């Protein structure tokens, strides 16, 4: 039986003016936007609708902004939102969990905000960076990382031939040279504020763990394919566990999409700002 998968984007999909059309055209959307302002304690809608790209790029703004946009879009789809399975890229996993009933909008937003602040703090404690490696096999990327001195790991398996590595600035810079020597077409540093999905996020993982632990998780209406395992999950306690592990573990997006296809997904709909995931899915599947 052919199944319909809904996928949710992560950091990097934000754009100036995001969500303004939803706010102006729908009362129910407007209500949720205002509820988000209230929960966060500042008017994030002002930054989303009228802020600069620079303001939107701050982790503590980007993450809640993308989450709010994605969840409201899913709600505005009404009956058209009928997932047989869902997945989200990094932060997008939280959006996915709200849309399939695991978390309430309020709890989801609080966790996303806490996650963003914890990640921001971890970045300040230990500066790190990330780099995109193009046209090199996954195992070669992993090998170069393991042979490079310092903290550097494969962080995002985005699609075949596109991997992101993460770690300390020195180690990532050295690894980029190693990637090029191993035959990568390009290995370029990304304009990010930290080493996401690497061991350097350990302080953030510890903070988020207690917040997640004290939040109630329901069973989802359909399986969610989580970043850490790339496998279908419906058990709330396992979902919690994987969500905590996600901060220091790689995002297995390629593997998740392949597993969704293997389990019958024929149609993939991206919900949220941008079309980054559609491009990756086209290359994977």
Give the residue numbers annotated as catalytic, written as ranges.
90, 197
DSSP 163-201: EEEEEEHHHHHHHHHHHHHTT-SEEEE---SS-TTSGGG
Compute CA distances 241 → 157, 174, 210, 235, whole Å.
20, 33, 11, 10
**Bridge partner residues of 132 (DSSP):** 164, 188
Residue with tokens 């919900």: 271
Distance CA 193, CA 87 (A): 25
For residue 108 the two structure tokens come to: 């989801």
Residue 63's contacts (CB-CB under 8 Å, 6 or more residues apart) are 11, 91, 112, 113, 115, 116, 119
């Amino acid at each position: 039986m052919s199944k319909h998968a809904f996928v949710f984007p992560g950091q990097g999909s934000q754009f100036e003016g995001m969500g303004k059309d939803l706010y102006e055209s729908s009362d129910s959307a407007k209500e949720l936007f205002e509820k988000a302002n209230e929960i966060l304690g500042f008017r994030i809608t002002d930054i989303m609708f009228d802020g600069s790209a620079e303001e939107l790029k701050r982790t503590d703004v980007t993450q809640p902004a993308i989450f709010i946009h994605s969840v409201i879009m899913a709600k505005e789809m009404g009956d058209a939102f009928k997932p047989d399975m869902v997945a989200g890229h990094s932060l997008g996993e939280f959006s996915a969990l709200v849309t399939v009933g695991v978390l309430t909008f309020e709890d989801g937003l609080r966790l996303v905000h806490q996650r963003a602040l914890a990640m921001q703090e971890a970045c300040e404690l230990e500066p790190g960076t990330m780099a995109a490696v193009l046209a090199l096999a996954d195992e070669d990327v992993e090998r170069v990382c393991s042979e490079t001195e310092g903290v550097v790991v494969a962080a995002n398996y985005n699609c075949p031939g596109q991997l992101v590595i993460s770690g300390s600035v020195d180690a990532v810079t050295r690894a980029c040279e190693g990637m090029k020597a191993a035959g990568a077409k390009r290995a370029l540093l990304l304009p990010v504020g930290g080493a996401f999905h690497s061991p350097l996020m350990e302080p953030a993982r510890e903070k988020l763990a207690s917040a997640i632990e004290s939040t109630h998780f329901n069973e989802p209406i359909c399986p969610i394919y989580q970043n850490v395992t790339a496998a279908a999950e419906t058990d709330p306690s396992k979902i919690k566990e994987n969500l905590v592990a996600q901060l220091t573990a790689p995002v297995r997006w390629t593997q998740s999409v392949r597993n969704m296809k293997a389990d019958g997904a024929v149609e993939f709909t991206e919900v949220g700002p941008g079309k980054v995931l559609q491009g990756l899915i086209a290359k994977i599947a």
